[in-house]
Amino acid sequence: MTKKEKADYIVKELEKLYPHPALPLNYKSPYTLLIAVLLAARNTDVGVNKVTPELFRRADNPGAMVKMTAEEIREIIRTIFMSARKAAAIHDLSQILIDEYDGKVPADFDALEKLPGVGHKTASVVMSLAFDVPAFPIDTHIQRMMVRWGLSEGKNVDQIEADAKKIFPKDKWNKLYLQITLYGRDYSPARSPSLTKDYITAKVGSKK
């Protein structure tokens, strides 16, 4: 089975499993999406969803956020790993959005990645879900599945992203990012001793 055949099969099967995938983070705007994804880096979505209701009740826009100090933000997100650093980043990026972007989240990769605490993956998620710009954010689940499916050698995140963008149709990137992430969590956990439920892997892993 060629990589193209594997990719076509994966797209078809994932569409059956997850016809309407959604990001498992609570958000209601580009700004709250940005903050939620920033918090999710090196933290679980469940953990993030426990702190964002109170955070967004207090501040769901940059203007309200900068009225709090970084320490006040940290107190709300204290259960999040690296809470002090993330609180400072949230406060600082909110001020930048006010000063440079009229309080709006910019629909631009470069501008997003220049914000404190925002890396390429976070920017890609925001561009994909908030602005519907084709992107392929790479998380640990996608890294693992791309390797297990034989679609990438997985040398680094940049290479995996390039491989994913090369093999999958551009108009499907935004949806596939969510579908593969959900599939990795549901059927192919990192510590699973076997992949008996992973029938996609069983199918695409074969060679002709």
Catalytic residue list = 121, 139
Using alpha carbons, select from 40, 42, 5 the residue that is nearest to residue 207.
5
Residue 91: how many CB atoms within 10 A of its CB?
22
77: tokens are: 């997100």
DSSP helix/strand/coil, 187: helix
Inter-residue contact 173 to 136 (CB < 8 Å): yes
Q: Which residues contact 171 (CB under 8 A, 6 or more apart)?
A: 134
Alpha carbons 81 and 41: distance in angstroms, whole number: 9
Q: Which residues contact 16 (CB under 8 A, 6 or more apart)?
A: none
- Helices H / strands E in the chain, number of each: 12, 0
Alpha carbons 64 and 114: distance in angstroms, whole number: 21
